[in-house]
Structure 1
């Protein structure tokens, strides 16, 4: 095994986190502006309710954040417009959804229908009253209740009384690791019976290493990638309810993340000799058979197959304890579908949403985007996802750890320092200091 200190020479000059934050730092001025938009627009909506939403031709603005799904949504829109010739859908594709939405909200230009990443900024916007409330709507009757809970929990980050669903889960994703099935067999392991406990996982890494195969492909030149295994471990080790204790002052980051950080350090002992490569290089190396696992999210599998269409892979949950029944899959609402609370075309917006939520269409979307459908009888869009499907069906999913801390905290950079030094206490102290500084600036 490698010592943590030996990594300093190999990649201490690695670049900083280049992955864009999901949400810019929250400011009081923007929050007030959003609140003002909601108050003013509500009056407009009340008057518009008796307007022309059902008369003549209608154009809906459809805000679509997912760059890799542009062609799929264009196809869906074309199908809807063919069925409803009096309704035109104006698709607004964006590469920076959080910034674009903030700008639109402040200018009172809220799109009629939206897809949003189910991350922290969704919670901020939802709690501000921008989106329609679907809590008691029958459209959620057939939706996976744990996926709905994830949405509610995000809104409660900004309003603890807001136990409401301001959107509809549209697609699910997952964190864990990609398995090169052939390399596992080569090491004498059974890829049909992947590790269900932390001890089994570490034993497998050692056996792979003894077979002369690199167990884990690291990509530490881009620190955001270190958050993937950390989130996978935290999903089991840190119940979401524990994060409220940080605000209440009854728990610290040492309490919550200390055990997670210790396992993160142990996990990275099994990477290649030089893990300081980019995400792209790691993906290529894994696809070309240079390591047995790649610890990222489900999103990486299509990238791997682009490099090597013939690779035989599975996706697995990363266990964090030695009790199989305790394991939880870190997963999220990859895409949330919602409607503006102040749309002038509520009927047509609803028609479009119901069209998109059709089960067959969602299955087709899941297959094209390598994700999960949001229904109680969840469907996995690819055979490689079957190994973790039962977590969705059993409701054993938890949100990503970084969704529960402010995006201005340098989690990725702190994790890089952790893996360079192996100093867990320094990591948790760094996170605690950043948290305390942000809390001190926040006016409750």
Structure 2
């Protein structure tokens, strides 16, 4: 009896020691409708490889802006997670405020870091003052989604899809004549004024230069006028993204312009029609550049425990490299920003799933998704959002006047000295 009791005590002691040895880290990410399925695939692989690390998931951020605001609040309250996913254009503010930790000390201890597939073009997206603060997790570009059954009503097939916005408007007219009430959804309301930047980069023009908002230049007026032409010429309804996705999935919208990131969600909700993705149209010609969307993993832990920090780095590295990164492509429409995942693990993937290859073909157009400098960056995003919505709703028809108003209001919010 004494032997049994002693044995049980040893077992319990071993179990307690094992529980104490297990390190728990906290992780938060945006867009549950896009990424829940991705992390459901990644987590079991990580747990099998690292049974001593437990990853606790926090409530998801509704958007990149919500993610940044949440981290800023948590930094003040002292309730930060260990790792956060932030929009590529929202990393800078966390670096400037000292919330994000440099990953350089961890990278320096990784002799095989380069062989994991990271390459400079992708590392640059999370590099500030020559130090890496964020490892990109997923990269997206804007693309066109087409209901080919409806497109046939306009006399179009895969060989002659629209390549310019003027062609899109002309196609809208044919679709309406064929009885399609809402022929297009164009994602003006996507996070971070992404589509405004897409129209600017299409003309090879950044939206921000230093602390100057460049909408006052000719390319800015062209961007606003192009939106006006699409919204009026196509009589586009002002839909939120989830409503637009539901309408497209139900076979009611023929052409949808949005991020390639949503492809997994679109395919899962797709009705009984043929779906085709294609390159993002341009202004008079193919785009000369497009903003890189997506998010990066950042270390924001306030822990001083080296073991916990190492565990957070282990999770961060796992999800941005190898099989972890490959699951991004398998479960969403994002591209892994990891050479090994794209060229080795996913070697035959894009041949089998051509709709996911569209964004890969556009990779040479990759440009920066720009942040608005200073402490008012999120406020600037909202000002521009409100102005663009006014075009959709019919509040704004004079694009020169809107250009002037937006430029003045935004410039007042940017750092002085510009």
- Smaller-chain TM-score range? 0.7 to 0.9
In structure 1, the residue matched to 2:412 is 437
Question: What's the RMSD between the two structures over aligned residues?
Answer: 3.7
Q: Secondary structure at the match of 1:132?
A: coil
The answer to whether residue 312 in structure 2 is matched with residue 349 in structure 1 is yes
Report deviation, 1:83. Answer: 2.8
Q: Is the 1:178–1:314 Cα contact (8 Å) retained in structure 2? A: yes
**Which ranges of structure 1 fall in alignment gaps of 5 or more residues?**
1-55, 156-161
Q: Secondary structure at the match of 2:258?
A: coil
Larger Rg over CA atoms: 2
| Alignment size in residue pairs | 371
Cα distance in 1 between the residues matched to 2:259 and 2:189 = 15
Change over 3 Å in CA distance of 1:219–1:197 after alignment to 2: closer
The answer to whether residue 359 in structure 2 is matched with residue 359 in structure 1 is no
Q: Is the 1:167–1:337 Cα contact (8 Å) retained in structure 2? A: yes
In structure 2, the residue matched to 1:104 is 74
In structure 1, the residue matched to 2:146 is 179
Report deviation, 1:278. Answer: 4.5
In structure 1, the residue matched to 2:259 is 297
The answer to whether residue 377 in structure 2 is matched with residue 406 in structure 1 is yes
Report deviation, 1:360. Answer: 2.4
User: What are the Cα deviations for residues 177-231 of structure 1, in whole angstroms up to 9, with x where unaligned?
Assistant: 32112222332223245344455545544554555545733489x9669956434
Report deviation, 1:403. Answer: 5.8
Q: Secondary structure at the match of 2:281?
A: coil
Q: Is the 1:168–1:337 Cα contact (8 Å) retained in structure 2? A: yes
1:79-90 maps to which residues of 2 (within 5 A)?
79-90=45-56
Cα distance in 2 between the residues matched to 1:239 and 1:151 = 22
TM-score of the superposed pair, with normalisation by structure 2:
0.74
Q: Secondary structure at the match of 1:295?
A: strand
User: What are the Cα deviations for residues 227-246 of structure 1, in whole angstroms up to 9, with x where unaligned?
Assistant: 56434322312533x6125x
Which piece of structure 1 moves more, 90-99 or 421-430?
90-99
User: What are the Cα deviations for residues 40-78 of structure 1, in whole angstroms up to 9, with x where unaligned?
Assistant: xxxxxxxxxxxxxxxx71524232213233454355334
In structure 2, the residue matched to 1:91 is 57
The answer to whether residue 355 in structure 2 is matched with residue 391 in structure 1 is no
Cα distance in 2 between the residues matched to 1:262 and 1:401 = 21
1:283-362 maps to which residues of 2 (within 5 A)?
283-324=245-286, 326-332=287-293, 334-340=294-300, 343=303, 344=305, 345=307, 346-362=309-325
1:246-261 maps to which residues of 2 (within 5 A)?
247=211, 251=214, 253-261=216-224
Change over 3 Å in CA distance of 1:328–1:192 after alignment to 2: farther
Which piece of structure 1 moves more, 258-267 or 208-217?
208-217
**Which ranges of structure 2 fall in alignment gaps of 5 or more residues?**
1-19
Q: Is the 2:26–2:82 Cα contact (8 Å) retained in structure 1? A: yes
Which piece of structure 1 moves more, 401-410 or 292-301?
401-410
